[in-house]
Amino acid sequence: MLSEKGWKFRDGDSFQQIPCGLQGQGGKWGFGVRCARFFTSSDELETSSNLWMQPHSSCSVGIKILSLMAHGFSSEWETPINSQSSGLQILTCADCFHSLFPSQMMKFAWDNYKQYALGKNELRPLTKNGHIGNMFGGLRGATVIDALDTLYIMELEEEFQEAKQWVEKSFDLNVVFKSKALELGEKLLPAFNTPTGIPRGVINLGSGMSWSWGWASAGSSILAEFGTLHLEFLHLSELSGNPVFAEKVMNIRRVLSRVEKPQGLYPNFLSPVTGSWVQHHVSIGGLGDSFYEYLIKSWLMSDKKDSEAKKMYDDALEAIEKHLVKKSAGGLTYIAEWRGGILDHKMGHLACFSGGMIALGAEHAAEERRQRHMELAAEITSTCHESYTRSDTKLGPEAFRFDAGSEAMATRLSERYYILRPEVVESYMYLWRLTHDPKYRHWGWEVVQALEKHCRVEAGFSGIRDVYTTTPSHDNMQQSFFLAETLKYLYLLFCEDDVLSLEDWVFNTEAHPLPINHTDFKAAAQP
């Protein structure tokens, strides 16, 4: 098929190999397919959506062309290439194509955000306009910030440059990235001006005034908020040489070390005035979740030198195992919530990150704990998978329960929605990286297909209001974390392990990678 004029794709053609480095207009490379059957050793996918094949160092796939669509090429569907500089790759594995698909989804999500909502915090894909909201302290452009590293990791260079230029010119904090990060960190510092040094939950970045969330009990601060600063603030001190950021988060740790912990557990609400717990509500899901994640990741980011963080994590997980981990009548392992000693037998979607966290901690645990924790991680991740497979859309609800004869299903109307959350695929990614059990990639591919079928709309991706109907209504919101986390974790699930290796990087709670402080790696990581 290779000739002086290049590759020719015709309806009905089949290939076991495809060219890499295709040259199109303006140096854009790839080829367009309107309707094709992509086949691999284990499955096939038929798609009627426009797919732009992106290059990747390890990507090749069998393809049968059903109908072609030109992207700036001739009407004869010829794709000109330079036969000297291009090459061929033989089909080697199913997962090469699977890693391409989240990249295409990312491009689709970004392109529509850029067209309809650039500069706003999030895209409303049904009405094709932007949303600002009140969740980002008055800042705008949250999707740009969240998307930056995902675009870079996926090698979407043109789109990354678009995002970078917007940050340079329009990110309103009145040099890119490093100086902006330091400026933002400095603007957050007034929130720590409390009697205990525990920051309040909300800050006006213009005036520096801070306050607690109106719904938080007795003006309390939230464990998952003040406990999820450690990675970023330590990194800011390293970048700037200014110890103030590290000092702020180390003080938080001192306060938490002093306060009495009921049954060894950390409740979700702490007074920034007295340093005492306000309510004895414990959750590994919303309000508590990422505090625990940051304990083990602080130890890892320190190249396993922060022994205090490791002990806090080990002690917390021991209490969680003793008091919160339960097994349903049907044999499903879950982590319940705790309200003053009374268990609430439910898990939120947010709690499904814990399978990945426990697996990550188990990888570095003593032998007697390693096997037990890896089994626990796999069981929790399997339970979260069940919450997906038991729905009509194969997407999981916001919360699922283990009572009244129901298991791993939402029993309340207010918990049946799905807002493009990442926690389940996050755990799939970690379990794949640490076990290489192929079921995690299979489960991840099920999520890709469900997202495409039920959440993709004309101008982006939208959450759905009910996962238990095959014709769900959409909520008209493309969350910024969908680009930062969900698509990134899906992409990494199908990549080789050396793409953001867990030996060299930790992911913060929004899936943004931070370097592990190896003595030789730190220097190599400098731009």
Token readout for 40 is 């691999």
Answer yes or no: are the C-beta atoms of 480 and 512 closer than 8 Å: no
The predicted pLDDT at position 125 comes to: 98
| Local confidence band at 404 (pLDDT 50, 70, 90 cut-offs) | confident
End-to-end CA distance of the chain: 42
- Judge whether residue 310 has pLDDT over 90: yes
Q: In whole numbers, what is the pLDDT of the chain averaged over residues?
A: 83
**Strand locations in 251-370, DSSP E?**
269-270, 277-279, 281-282, 325-327, 333-335, 337-339, 342-344, 346-348
Answer yes or no: are the C-beta atoms of 474 and 413 closer than 8 Å: no
Q: Is 183 a catalytic residue?
A: no
Q: Which of 58-62, 77-81, 110-114 bottoms out in mean pLDDT, i.e. has the lowest?
A: 77-81
| Local confidence band at 519 (pLDDT 50, 70, 90 cut-offs) | low
Query: Catalytic residue among 159, 337, 398, 423, which?
Result: 398
Say what percent of the chain tops pLDDT 90.
71
Answer yes or no: are the C-beta atoms of 514 and 231 closer than 8 Å: yes
- Judge whether residue 28 has pLDDT over 60: no
Q: What is the pLDDT of residues 133-147, one digit of tens each?
A: 877 767 789 999 999
Q: What is the pLDDT of residues 211-267, one digit of tens each?
A: 999 999 899 999 999 999 999 999 999 999 999 999 999 999 999 999 999 999 999
Token readout for 416 is 């049946």
- Judge whether residue 328 has pLDDT over 60: yes
The predicted pLDDT at position 249 comes to: 98
SS3 content of the chain, % helix, strand, coil (to 5): 40, 15, 40
- Judge whether residue 44 has pLDDT over 90: no
- Judge whether residue 481 has pLDDT over 50: yes
- Which residue bears the tokens 């990060």? 181
**Strand locations in 245-394, DSSP E?**
269-270, 277-279, 281-282, 325-327, 333-335, 337-339, 342-344, 346-348
Q: Is 150 annotated as a binding residue?
A: no
- Of 165, 164, 171, 167, give the one whose Cα is nearest residue 140: 171
Q: What is the mean pLDDT of residues 281-310?
A: 97
Q: Which of 86-100, 264-278, 322-336 bottoms out in mean pLDDT, i.e. has the lowest?
A: 86-100
The predicted pLDDT at position 51 comes to: 34
- Judge whether residue 14 has pLDDT over 70: no
Q: What is the mean pLDDT of residues 177-195?
A: 92
